[in-house]
C-alpha cells in the first residue's frame, strides 16, 4: 500500500530517528521507520481536539521518551500506544510486525488507559488508584509511556473546550500521575504535569504568579546570567571545574512554597534557582565550601541528599545563600549522573543496549520497595532480567459498579469484596458478576476487575465461606452471622427443653407466663432465655423455681428430708436396688460416668452421702481399689417408664442446621435433651456435652448409631472420666 508522507511527517520521523541514534548508534533504522509508518497509517484521518492530525500526539510522546534515552521498543510503543484502543489494530498484528516486547508494552499501556476510564469522579481514592496503576504496570516502561502520554495531553489541554473536563483531567493529573512520576523519580515529567495542572485548576493564582514572575523576568534576564557567571567564577577559583545553569522557579513550585510557608508573593524572595554541575561527588562538597566561603548562608537551607538520597534516588546538595547583589538564591550542586537521575529517575538507569536496568538501580532503597523483592538474591537478578515491577504484589484493586476503587489483599474473593463495600452487602450477597459475567462467589479477584455483587434479602452467609475468604472483615462477618443463626437453633432447643420441664411439673408454658420470664432474669427477650437454656448456660429448673417459689421449697423439703435418691423423688418405684441393704439409703448415679440401665454397675458407699453408682469400667473407681469395704453390689430394676441421665461427647461440623438436626434425631428416637454444654468451637467444628434422658444403655446405643449416620456429626461417644 502506498503511503503518502507529508513533508512535516518525514521531518518528524527524521528528527526522532536522529535523536535516538545520538544515544544508540546501533539502532535498527528499518524497524523504526516501519513502526513510524504503521502508526501514521493507523491514525490516518483522525484529528486531535486542536485540529492537528492525531499522529502528532504519538510522535510527541515518543520524543519525550527518546529525550530520556529509552530503548527503541519503548519509542516504538509510544508511536503505537493508541492504535489498539483508538484504531482497529490488533495486538496480534503488532506482535507479528514488531515482536512480543512491543505488543506487550502496548497492551500494558492500553490496559492502563481503559482502567483510567473506569474511575468515577471520586478522586478521594487517588492513593488506591495510584497503587492500581503501579500494580498493573508490570513493566516500568509501561508507566513511563503512560506518564509521557499524560504529559503531552496536559500540554495540549487548552484545546479541550469544556472547563469541567479540563479541570477533571487536571485534578487527576495532580492527584495521580504527578505523584507517580515523583515516586519513580521522573522529575522532568513530574514538574511539567504539575505546572500544567496547576494552571488549569488555579487559573487566577497561576496568572497572578506568572505576571509577577514576568515582571521579575525582565530584571532577571540580566540578573540570572550575571549571577551564573559569578557563581561559576567563585567555584572555579576554588579549583573545581563546573558549569552553572540558572532559571526562574515554576509558578507551581512558588505556589506550593507560599502555601507551605504561609507567605505572600512579595515576601517570597528566592524565585531564582541555580544548578552547579561538577565532575564528582567530592567536588560537590568542595563547590559547596566555595559558595559558603563567598556568600552568607541562609539558616536551615542546607540539605545533603548525596549522603542521604531521597527515596526515589534523587541526589544533590541544596543550599540557600544571599548571593551576588544581595539576591536570595537557591543552589543545587550535583554531578551530571546525579542530574540525569534527578531528571529522568528510573529511566536514567535503563540500559537501551541490554534492555535492562543497570546495577546502579540497586543503590536505592526505593527500587527494592518498588519491585517488592521477596528473595533478595534471586529477586535482584529476576528484576534485571524482566524489568518487572511488583510493588503491590500483595494487593489487588477492584472497582464497584459506580467506579469506586476497593483495595483488597491478594487472593481476595467476591465475598471479601462484598464485605468491604458494606457488611450488609456481605450478609445478603448471593452471587457476583465480574466484568459483566456471572461467576462464583469464591472467585479470586484480579486487578481492575469490575465487581457487581448480587444480593437477596433472604440470603445468608454460609459457614464454609470462611474457608476461602481472605479479609478479617469478611471472616468476622461470616462468623457473626453463623453465630446468630446458631443462636436461633439453640433457642429452638432451649424452648423444647423448657416446655418439657414445665409439663413434668404439671405447669403450662402459656403466653402470660412467657411474658414474665425475661424480666425475672433481666434480659430483653424470651428468645435470649431459650438460647441460654439451649446452650446450657441456664437450667430449665431454675426458671421454674423463679416462677413458682413454692415448687422450689417443696423440692428442697423432699431433699432435706433425706427421703433418698433422685429416683425416689419421682412417683415411680426405685430404679436401683442394693443387694443386702435396706431401702432408705440414698442411691445416686455418678456424674463422672452416667451409668445406664443394662450396664454393669457397682456402688460405692460414702458416709453421709449414701451410695454412688458407677459403671464398672469408670476410671474413678481406681480411687477406691484399696477400700473394698466401700464397694457394694447394686442392680437395675428393669421395669418402669423411668428415664436415666446419660452424657454424650459430641462434635458437629460448624454449619447452620447441624444442632437442629441432632435435636430432631434424638427426639425421633424417643430421647430427651436435658442439658447442653458447649466445650469448644472452631471454624470447622463445635464440640459439646449432651445430657440425654434415655431408657437404658440399648436406647442410648441406638441414638448414638443414628447420630453417627448423620452428615453433620463428626463424632459422638459416651462421656467417661479419664484419669490422668
Segment near Mn ion (CB under 5 A), from 147-155, 402-410, 584-592, 631-639? 147-155
Burial 574-607 (b: 16+ CB within 10 A, else e): bbbebeeeeeebbbbbbebbbbbbbbebbbbbee
Phi/psi zone of residue 300: left (φ > 0), alpha (ψ -120 to 50 degrees), beta? left
Listed as own residue / partner, the contacts of 625-632 with beta carbons closer than 8 Å and 24 or more positions apart are 630/604, 630/605, 630/606, 631/602, 631/603, 631/604, 631/605, 632/578, 632/579, 632/581, 632/602, 632/603, 632/604, 632/605
Find, among 303, 356, 314, 269, the residue nearest to 73 by Cα.
356
Sequential DSSP letters for 556-602: HHHHHTT---HHHHSSSPPSEEETTS-BTB-EEE-TTT---TTS-EE
Sequential DSSP letters for 395-414: EEEEE-TTS-EEEEETT-BH
Which of 71, 138, 139, 149 is close enough to bind Mn ion by CB under 5 A? 149
Q: Which is nearer to Mn ion, 84 or 290 (CB)?
A: 84
Residue of 85, 95, 236, 485 with catalytic role: 85
Q: Which is nearer to Mn ion, 82 or 330 (CB)?
A: 82
Q: Which is nearer to Mn ion, 62 or 231 (CB)?
A: 62
Q: Do the bridges between strand 451-455 and strand 644-653 make them parallel or antiparallel, or are there none, so unpaired?
A: unpaired
Segment near Mn ion (CB under 5 A), from 76-84, 272-280, 662-670, 690-698? 76-84
Give backbone dihedrals phi and psi of 572, rounded to 5 degrees, phi first.
-75, 165
DSSP state of 619: G
Q: How far is the CB of 51 from Mn ion (least distance, A)?
A: 17
Q: Please name the residue ranges forming H helices in 648-717.
A: 658-668, 697-708
Q: How far is the CB of 62 from Mn ion (least distance, A)?
A: 11
Cα 295 from Cα 573, distance rounded (Å): 115
Residue of 24, 41, 67, 86 with catalytic role: 86
Q: Which is nearer to Mn ion, 170 or 544 (CB)?
A: 170
Q: Which is nearer to Mn ion, 143 or 277 (CB)?
A: 143
Q: How far is the CB of 146 from Mn ion (least distance, A)?
A: 9
Cα 380 from Cα 94, distance rounded (Å): 30
Q: To 5 degrees, how large is the angle CA 579–CA 584–CA 585?
A: 65
Q: Do the bridges between strand 587-589 and strand 610-615 make them parallel or antiparallel, or are there none, so unpaired?
A: parallel
Q: Which is nearer to Mn ion, 143 or 690 (CB)?
A: 143
Q: How far is the CB of 40 from Mn ion (least distance, A)?
A: 15
Residue 634 near residue 613 (C-beta atoms within 8 A) = yes
Q: Which is nearer to Mn ion, 149 or 427 (CB)?
A: 149
Q: How far is the CB of 335 from Mn ion (least distance, A)?
A: 34
Burial 431-440 (b: 16+ CB within 10 A, else e): ebebeeeebe
Which of 56, 59, 78, 82 is close enough to bind Mn ion by CB under 5 A? 82
Angstrom distances, CA of residue 14 to CA of 17, 55, 65: 5, 15, 16
Bridge partners of 605, per DSSP, are 611
Cα 327 from Cα 156, distance rounded (Å): 36
Does position 77 interact with Mn ion (CB under 5 A)? The reply is: no
Segment near Mn ion (CB under 5 A), from 145-153, 562-570, 676-684, 689-697? 145-153
Segment near Mn ion (CB under 5 A), from 74-82, 161-169, 395-403, 452-460? 74-82
Interface with Mn ion in residues 357-396 (CB under 5 A): none
Query: Could you confirm whether 86 is annotated as catalytic?
Result: yes
Query: Could you confirm whether 633 is annotated as catalytic?
Result: no
Listed as own residue / partner, the contacts of 211-215 with beta carbons closer than 8 Å and 24 or more positions apart are 212/265, 213/248, 213/251, 213/254, 213/271
Q: How far is the CB of 89 from Mn ion (least distance, A)?
A: 14
Q: How far is the CB of 355 from Mn ion (least distance, A)?
A: 23
Cα 579 from Cα 193, distance rounded (Å): 102
Overall residue count recorded for the chain in this entry: 724
Cα 615 from Cα 378, distance rounded (Å): 66
Number of residues interacting with Mn ion: please give it, by CB under 5 A.
2
Site string for Mn ion, 117-136 (x = CB under 5 A): --------------------
- How many other CB atoms sit within 10 Å of the CB of residue 195? 17
Segment near Mn ion (CB under 5 A), from 146-154, 203-211, 627-635, 712-720? 146-154
Q: Which is nearer to Mn ion, 112 or 445 (CB)?
A: 112
Q: Which is nearer to Mn ion, 82 or 182 (CB)?
A: 82
Interface with Mn ion in residues 188-247 (CB under 5 A): none
Q: Which is nearer to Mn ion, 87 or 454 (CB)?
A: 87
Q: How far is the CB of 150 from Mn ion (least distance, A)?
A: 8
Segment near Mn ion (CB under 5 A), from 142-150, 221-229, 440-448, 487-495? 142-150
Find, among 299, 298, 335, the residue nearest to 315 by Cα.
335
Cα 210 from Cα 252, distance rounded (Å): 10
DSSP state of 43: T
Q: Which residue is nearest to Mn ion (CB)?
A: 149
Query: Which H or E element spans position 304?
Result: strand 303-304
Segment near Mn ion (CB under 5 A), from 80-88, 101-109, 198-206, 602-610? 80-88
Q: How far is the CB of 299 from Mn ion (least distance, A)?
A: 46
Q: Which is nearer to Mn ion, 73 or 82 (CB)?
A: 82
Site string for Mn ion, 496-535 (x = CB under 5 A): ----------------------------------------
Q: How far is the CB of 435 from Mn ion (least distance, A)?
A: 24
Segment near Mn ion (CB under 5 A), from 148-156, 303-311, 347-355, 506-514? 148-156
Q: Which is nearer to Mn ion, 82 or 675 (CB)?
A: 82
Find, among 34, 31, 47, the residue nearest to 1 by Cα.
34
Cα 116 from Cα 361, distance rounded (Å): 29
Q: How far is the CB of 81 from Mn ion (least distance, A)?
A: 6
Does position 59 interact with Mn ion (CB under 5 A)? The reply is: no
Segment near Mn ion (CB under 5 A), from 47-55, 79-87, 129-137, 640-648? 79-87
Q: Do the bridges between strand 685-694 and strand 672-681 make them parallel or antiparallel, or are there none, so unpaired?
A: antiparallel
Give backbone dihedrals phi and psi of 579, rounded to 5 degrees, phi first.
-70, 130
Q: How far is the CB of 153 from Mn ion (least distance, A)?
A: 6
Q: Please name the residue ranges forming H helices in 314-410.
A: 336-344, 365-371, 376-386
Interface with Mn ion in residues 432-451 (CB under 5 A): none
Residues with active-site annotation: 85-86
The residues of the shown chain that bind Mn ion, judged by CB under 5 A, are: 82, 149
Amino acid at each position: 500500500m502506498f503511503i503518502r508522507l507529508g513533508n512535516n511527517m518525514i521531518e518528524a520521523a527524521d528528527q526522532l530517528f536522529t535523536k535516538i541514534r545520538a544515544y544508540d548508534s546501533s539502532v535498527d533504522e528499518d524497524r523504526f521507520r516501519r513502526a513510524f509508518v504503521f502508526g501514521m497509517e493507523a491514525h490516518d484521518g483522525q484529528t486531535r481536539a486542536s485540529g492537528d492530525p492525531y499522529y502528532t500526539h504519538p510522535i510527541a510522546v515518543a520524543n519525550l521518551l527518546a529525550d530520556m534515552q529509552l530503548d527503541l521498543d519503548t519509542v516504538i510503543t509510544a508511536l503505537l500506544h493508541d492504535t489498539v484502543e483508538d484504531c482497529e489494530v490488533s495486538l496480534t498484528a503488532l506482535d507479528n510486525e514488531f515482536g512480543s516486547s512491543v505488543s506487550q508494552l502496548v497492551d500494558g499501556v492500553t490496559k492502563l488507559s481503559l482502567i483510567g476510564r473506569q474511575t468515577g469522579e471520586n478522586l478521594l481514592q487517588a492513593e488506591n488508584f495510584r497503587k492500581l496503576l503501579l500494580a498493573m504496570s508490570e513493566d516500568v516502561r509501561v508507566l513511563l509511556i503512560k506518564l509521557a502520554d499524560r504529559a503531552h495531553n496536559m500540554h495540549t489541554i487548552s484545546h479541550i473546550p469544556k472547563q469541567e473536563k479540563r479541570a477533571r483531567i487536571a485534578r487527576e493529573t495532580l492527584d495521580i500521575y504527578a505523584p507517580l512520576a515523583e515516586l519513580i523519580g521522573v522529575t522532568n515529567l513530574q514538574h511539567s504535569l504539575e505546572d500544567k495542572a496547576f494552571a488549569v485548576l488555579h487559573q487566577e493564582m497561576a496568572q497572578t504568579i506568572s505576571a509577577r514572575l514576568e515582571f521579575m523576568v525582565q530584571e532577571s534576564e540580566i540578573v540570572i546570567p550575571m549571577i551564573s557567571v559569578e557563581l561559576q567564577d567563585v567555584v572555579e577559583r576554588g579549583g573545581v571545574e563546573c558549569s552553572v545553569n540558572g532559571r526562574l522557579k515554576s509558578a507551581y513550585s512558588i505556589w506550593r512554597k507560599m502555601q507551605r510557608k504561609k507567605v505572600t508573593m512579595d515576601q517570597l524572595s528566592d524565585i531564582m534557582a541555580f544548578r552547579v554541575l561538577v565532575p564528582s561527588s567530592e567536588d560537590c562538597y568542595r563547590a559547596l565550601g566555595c559558595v559558603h566561603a563567598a556568600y552568607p548562608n541562609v539558616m536551615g537551607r542546607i540539605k545533603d541528599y548525596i549522603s542521604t538520597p531521597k527515596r526515589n534516588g534523587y541526589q544533590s546538595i541544596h543550599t540557600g545563600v544571599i548571593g551576588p547583589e544581595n539576591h536570595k538564591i537557591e543552589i543545587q550542586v550535583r554531578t551530571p549522573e546525579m542530574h540525569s537521575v534527578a531528571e529522568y529517575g528510573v529511566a536514567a538507569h535503563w540500559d537501551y543496549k541490554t534492555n535492562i536496568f543497570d546495577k546502579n538501580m540497586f543503590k536505592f532503597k526505593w527500587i527494592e520497595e518498588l519491585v517488592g523483592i521477596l528473595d533478595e538474591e534471586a529477586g535482584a537478578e529476576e528484576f534485571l532480567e524482566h524489568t518487572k515491577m511488583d510493588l503491590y504484589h500483595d494487593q489487588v484493586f477492584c472497582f464497584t459498579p459506580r467506579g469506586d476503587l476497593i483495595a483488597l489483599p491478594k487472593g481476595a474473593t467476591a465475598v471479601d469484596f462484598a464485605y468491604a463495600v458494606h457488611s450488609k452487602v456481605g450478609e445478603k450477597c448471593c452471587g457476583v458478576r465480574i466484568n459483566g459475567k456471572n461467576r462464583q462467589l469464591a472467585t479470586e479477584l484480579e486487578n481492575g476487575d469490575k465487581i457487581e455483587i448480587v444480593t437477596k434479602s433472604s440470603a445468608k452467609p454460609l459457614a464454609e465461606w470462611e474457608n476461602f475468604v481472605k479479609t478479617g472483615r469478611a471472616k468476622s462477618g461470616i462468623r457473626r452471622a453463623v453465630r446468630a443463626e446458631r443462636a436461633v437453633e439453640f433457642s429452638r432447643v432451649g424452648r423444647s427443653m423448657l416446655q418439657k420441664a414445665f409439663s413434668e411439673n404439671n405447669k403450662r408454658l402459656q403466653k402470660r407466663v412467657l411474658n414474665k420470664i425475661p424480666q425475672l432474669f433481666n434480659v430483653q427477650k424470651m428468645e435470649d432465655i431459650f438460647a441460654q437454656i439451649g446452650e446450657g448456660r441456664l437450667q430449665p429448673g431454675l426458671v421454674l423455681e423463679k416462677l413458682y417459689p413454692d415448687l422450689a421449697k417443696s423440692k428442697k423439703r423432699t431433699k432435706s428430708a433425706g427421703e433418698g435418691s433422685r429416683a425416689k423423688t419421682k412417683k415411680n418405684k426405685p430404679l436401683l436396688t442394693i443387694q443386702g441393704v435396706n431401702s432408705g439409703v440414698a442411691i445416686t448415679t455418678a456424674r463422672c460416668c452416667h451409668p445406664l440401665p443394662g450396664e454393669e454397675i457397682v456402688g460405692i458407699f460414702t458416709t453421709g452421702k449414701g451410695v454412688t453408682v458407677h459403671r464398672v469400667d469408670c476410671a474413678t473407681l481406681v480411687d477406691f481399689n484399696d477400700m473394698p469395704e466401700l464397694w457394694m453390689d447394686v442392680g437395675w430394676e428393669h421395669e418402669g417408664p423411668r428415664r436415666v441421665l446419660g452424657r454424650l461427647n459430641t462434635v458437629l461440623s460448624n454449619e447452620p442446621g447441624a444442632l437442629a438436626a441432632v435435636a430432631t434425631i434424638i427426639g425421633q428416637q424417643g430421647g430427651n435433651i436435658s442439658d447442653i454444654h458447649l466445650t469448644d468451637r472452631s471454624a470447622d467444628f463445635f464440640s459439646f456435652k449432651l445430657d440425654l434422658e434415655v431408657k437404658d444403655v440399648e436406647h442410648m446405643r441406638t441414638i448414638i448409631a443414628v447420630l453417627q449416620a448423620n452428615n453433620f456429626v463428626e463424632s459422638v461417644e459416651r462421656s467417661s472420666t479419664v484419669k490422668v
